[in-house]
A and B are shown apart, each in its own frame.
Chain A
Amino acid sequence: TQLLEQSPQFLSIQEGENLTVYCNSSSVFSSLQWYRQEPGEGPVLLVTVVTGGEVKKLKRLTFQFGDARKDSSLHITAAQPGDTGLYLCAGASGTYKYIFGTGTRLKVLA
């Protein structure tokens, strides 16, 4: 069974701090996605990484796909209260299926 473990599970930080969220698996994925979910809403796609070692930047967010395509990280620089939410990674498995990670709940305090 493919599993995606995210760490930490919860994170509460002050505005302006940096943080990194990790997404780890023993399985290889053809691609990996990161989503953010705000309270009362469905997840919204932030980024897709496809190539091992790939790094993508989205303003203050930096996403990295591991060389072996088994893990990924999300780094946020100078976090803001608007970054608060549940962050989910999802690995592509098979022709249509995604395996979702356990989630990291981030709270950024003003």
Chain B
Amino acid sequence: DVKVTQSSRYLVKRTGEKVFLECVQDMDHENMFWYRQDPGLGLRLIYFSYDVKMKEKGDIPEGYSVSREKKERFSLILESASTNQTSMYLCASSFQLRLAGGPETQYFGPGTRLLVL
């Protein structure tokens, strides 16, 4: 079974703190994703990585950065946490880039609920 784990289920931080969210997958997937989930907005893509040290911005990258030094690990960094970054953060992974018209399955971790005070 594919397993995607996230370092924390719940996190409380202060405004201005630097926050690290870690994600690890055990299926040798090339692709890894970070999303945030807010009520009524669905999931919004923050960053995507298709290989080690490779990253691409998603829809809402402002205020975030990412790091992928090893294939199995993808980290999301909040450089200076703000209250509007309070949210549920979901990590996902999948095999290879999608072939034309051919979808791949994204496997999600359990999420990290972050509260910024």
Contacts and interface: CB of A to CB of B under 8 A. Distances in A.
- For chain A, which range describes its interface: under 10, 10 to 19, 20 to 34, or 35 or more residues? 20 to 34
Interface in B1-48: 4, 9, 31, 35, 40-45, 48
Contact of A50 (B50, B58, B101): B101
A30 interface: yes
A45 B105 contact: yes
B76 interface: no
A100 B44 contact: yes
B70 interface: no
A103 B58 CA distance: 20
> Chain A at the B interface: mostly helix, strand, loop or mixed?
loop
Nearest to A49: B103
Contact of B103 (A4, A9, A50, A101): A50
Given A48-B105, A88-B43, A102-B41, A96 B92 contact: no
B105 to A, nearest CB: 5
A103 B107 CA distance: 18
Nearest to B96: A96
Interface string A94-109: 0111101111000000
Interface string A24-45: 0000001101000000111111
